[in-house]
């Protein structure tokens, strides 16, 4: 298999993907802290979840979503500044509200949006700010916004992480994969 890493590739580099960001005032005052990533077609999904006994509300939401609908996901909403972890039933409701707001803002089916949160643990999620950010981001989707989305979800990172690779398959088909990679040790 031939792999070509794309210079300045990002999560929205694959065909049919768009991204957007919004400032919600959770992590930063005057900087985007919410990212939205959307596919124009349903996607098959795979996920690797923590084995920790304590799981954040978005992790629990996404684990259940993978059981309900792993073959028709369309969107991912991520906020920085609040992990929505150790927040109880209110955190669970916040994760579900983020998913429903994303689906509604994009005109998607229920159970088609993943939710992720990164940041401070044990602090209630400011849901209203997030929901407003989702609405604003949904109006600004653009394929070129992948690098901005990587910047928006930074917490303790010193630089945004994004990449994409093009793979030539043995069948002769070519696919592009993009994302936000983990930091290398």
DSSP letters of 29-78? SSS--EEEEEEEEEE---------SS--HHHHHHHHHHHH-TT-EEEEEE
Say if 52 falls within a structural domain: yes
Say if 169 falls within a structural domain: no
* pLDDT digit string (tens) for the chain, length 185 residues: 688 888 888 888 888 999 999 999 998 788 999 999 999 999 988 888 999 999 999 999 999 999 999 889 999 999 999 999 999 999 999 999 999 999 999 999 999 999 999 999 999 999 999 999 999 999 999 999 988 898 888 877 777 788 888 899 899 898 888 876 654 43
Instruction: Give the pLDDT of residue 183.
Output: 47
Say if 121 falls within a structural domain: yes
Say if 129 falls within a structural domain: yes
Strands (E) across the chain are located at 2-5, 17-22, 34-43, 73-82, 113-120, 163-168, 174-179
Structurally, how many domains does the chain consist of?
A: 1
Say if 164 falls within a structural domain: no
**Which strands, in side-by-side order, build the sheet including 73-82?**
17-22, 34-43, 73-82, 113-120
The residue segments making up the domain with residue 116 are: 16-158
Instruction: Give the pLDDT of residue 184.
Output: 43
CATH of the domain at 57: 3.60.70.12
Say if 165 falls within a structural domain: no
Which residue matches tokens 């043995």? 170
Say if 178 falls within a structural domain: no
Say if 34 falls within a structural domain: yes
Which residue matches tokens 């210079």? 7
Report how far residue 73's alpha carbon sits from residue 77's, in angstroms, rounded to the nearest whole number.
12
Report how far residue 45's alpha carbon sits from residue 136's, in angstroms, rounded to the nearest whole number.
26
């Amino acid at each position: 298999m031939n792999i070509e890493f794309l210079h300045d590739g990002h999560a929205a580099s694959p065909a049919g993907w768009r991204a957007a960001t919004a400032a919600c005032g959770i992590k930063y005052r005057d900087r985007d802290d919410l990212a939205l990533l959307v596919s124009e077609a349903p996607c098959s999904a795979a996920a690797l979840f923590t084995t920790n006994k304590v799981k954040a509300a978005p992790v629990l939401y996404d684990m259940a979503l993978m059981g309900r609908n792993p073959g028709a996901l369309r969107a991912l909403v991520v906020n920085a500044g609040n992990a929505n972890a150790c927040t109880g039933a209110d955190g669970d409701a916040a994760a579900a509200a983020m998913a429903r707001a994303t689906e509604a803002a994009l005109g998607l089916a229920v159970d088609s949006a993943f939710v992720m949160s990164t940041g401070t643990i044990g602090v209630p999620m400011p849901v209203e700010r997030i929901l407003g950010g989702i609405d604003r981001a949904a109006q600004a989707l653009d394929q070129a916004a992948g690098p901005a989305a990587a910047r928006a979800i930074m917490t303790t990172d010193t630089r945004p992480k994004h990449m994409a690779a093009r793979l030539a398959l043995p069948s002769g088909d070519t696919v592009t994969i993009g994302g936000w990679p983990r930091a290398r040790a």
